[in-house]
Structure 1
Amino acid sequence: MFGDIMGMMGKLKETQQKIEETKKRLDSVLIDEQSTDGLLKVTITANRKIKAVSIDDSLLEDKEQLEDYLLLVLNKAVERASAINEAELAAVAKDGMPNIPGMDMFK
């Protein structure tokens, strides 16, 4: 019994390390998103950090339009980044969870 607990603790520690490594790797996964007309482009990491924003000069003439574009494109980019982030971290967590009876959290 004690050996099983030690084995589980070791597995959990290993999984925690893999999660941290995955988080670091996700900093280098870049997602490009743009408006349908290509006037606004955003690059964001899978950890949801904005890396670049490119705004066409024509959008600088209309503050409201620019704000709308920013909201739409940034939200779309964050949504995609979140999906990638959650999928990657869930895969690592599921892989590393010890088989504890009654703890079928990741099925």
Structure 2
Amino acid sequence: MFGDMAGMMGKLKEAQEKVEATKTRLNSVLVDETGANEKLKITITANREIKKIEIDESLLTDKEELEDYLILTINKAIQKATAINDHELGMAAKSGMPSIPGMDLFK
């Protein structure tokens, strides 16, 4: 029984290490989102850190419009990055988890 427990603990530690490695890797996965007829471009990492904002000069004439476009485009980029992040971390956690009958946590 204790041998099985030690094996399970080892697998849990391995899963944790895979998740941490995946988190680090996701810092280099870039997600681009464009808005305002491609006059606005947001680049963020899959860990949801903004890396770059490009704004066409034509958008600089209307402050409220630019603010609206920024909010919409950033939110879309965050949604894409979150989907990638959730999928990748879920796969990393699942790949290292021990098989426990009746406890399929990641379907």
1:8 aligns with 2:5: no
Shift of 1:36: 4.9
Distance 2:90 2:37 in 1: 34
Distance 1:18 1:83 in 2: 18
Name the TM-score, length of structure 2 as normaliser. 0.96
Shift of 1:50: 0.2
Residue aligned with 2:101, SS: coil
4+ residue runs over 4 A deviation: none
Name the TM-score, length of structure 1 as normaliser. 0.96
Unaligned segments of structure 1, at least 5 residues: none
Tell me which residue corresponds to 1:40. 40
Q: Note the alpha carbon deviations across 1:55-95, whole angstroms, 9 max, x for none.
A: 11111110110011001110010000000000000001111
Count of paired positions:
107
Residue aligned with 1:90, SS: helix
Distance 1:51 1:17 in 2: 26
Unaligned segments of structure 2, at least 5 residues: none
